[in-house]
Structure 1
Amino acid sequence: MPRSQRNDNFIDKTFTILADISLQILPTTKREREASTYYRDGMSAQSEGEYAEALRSYYKAMRLEVDSYDRSYILYNIGLIHTSNGKHARALEYYFQASERNPSLPQAFNNMAVICHHRGEQAINQGSLEISEAWFDQAAEYWKQAIAPSPGNYIEAQNWLKITGRSSSLN
């Protein structure tokens, strides 16, 4: 039994049932159904903090999934796990890949910005002001991309952009 069908959470069970019905109703291939199952298993494991198991499921889903849009969410979730594990460079790689496949994924741009901002703060602590400014500039660019499709979101980022004088292209 797939992991996603063993979840005890009512909302997760409901989502799983609806997803299963959708997969049966919509014209999908066996490969697409398997990819979806692995993706849902990965989400379930990730929500339980079972990151190694989640990564295994996501990598299996990546081998099967051909749709660029769907792949973007798998890549994004892999990025989340690497962020949680403190592997920021790897996380950036996955967020970047996700945003390439789906430029309308503001949360990937936001997470890239957060990592860049964090690296900027680390550079300040190490006394490297020039390097910190480069990281902050990169964070600003990513935040602008996150904010563009949803101007009502990321208010703290918008305030930071304004306070630091980096909000030139915001609406």
Structure 2
Amino acid sequence: MSAQSEGNYAEALQNYYEAMRLEIDPYDRSYILYNIGLIHTSNGEHTKALEYYFRALERNPFLPQAFNNMAVICHYETLKYGSKGRILLTYSDRGEQAIRQGDSEISESWFDQAAEYWKQAIALTPGNYIEAQNWLKITGRFE
């Protein structure tokens, strides 16, 4: 973790990949995968980051910080590219194509996806993610 905290992400990734090779406990592996996701997020590699957050949650569905980070990525990418630009994060080729063509419904679906991730994070830690809770209320996505 020291390499990561010092900003030496290449070394940190090597260390985490080695840890994944050695670690067998799913719970511990979830945190290794989460940390790999953090590095990819820091590097702006959001598609890779999402992949590692998903993998972490497969092993440990009680990682609110992974849900939060996934929500932030979805929200950020939608704001960054809006309905006119290209969002790099897609679950399908059709979705990516629709975004490139300026489909506002797809943009809205990314906001909806962000909302779902934030709801899951909030459900796990109700006192956290106040800004996300406010955004959910303001946008009418809070139930």
**TM bucket by the smaller chain?**
0.7 to 0.9
Q: Work out the CA distance in 1 between the residues paired with 2:110 and 2:23.
A: 33
Please report the TM-score for the alignment, with normalisation by the length of structure 2: 0.85
In structure 1, runs of 5+ residues without a counterpart are 1-42
Q: 1:123 aligns with which of 82, 88, 106?
A: 82
Are 2:30 and 1:55 aligned?
A: no
**Number of residue pairs matched by the alignment:** 126
Match of 1:97 among 55, 61, 65: 55
How large is the RMSD of aligned CA atoms in angstroms? 1.0
Sequence identity, in percent? 78
Structure 2, unaligned runs of 5 or more: 86-101
Greater relative contact order, per chain length (Cα 8 Å cut-off, separation 6+): 2
| In structure 1, C-alpha distance between the alignment counterparts of 2:51 and 2:21, rounded to whole Å | 18
Q: How far did 1:129 drift? A: 1.7
CA offset at residue 123 of structure 1?
Answer: 2.6
Deviation at 1:100, TM superposition (A): 1.3
Is 2:111 the counterpart of 1:136?
yes
State the TM-score, normalizing by the size of structure 1.
Answer: 0.71
* Separation in 1, partners of 2:116, 2:58: 15
Which structure has the larger Rg?
Answer: 1
List structure 1 runs of 4+ shifted beyond 4 angstroms: none
Deviation at 1:125, TM superposition (A): 5.1
Q: Compare 154-163 and 127-136 and name the one that shifted more.
A: 127-136
Residue 150 of structure 1 corresponds to: 125
Which whole-Å deviations, capped at 9, do the CAs of 1:107-165 have from their partners, x for residues lacking one?
Answer: 00000000011122123353542121010010001001100011100000000011111
The answer to whether 1:46 aligns with 2:4 is yes
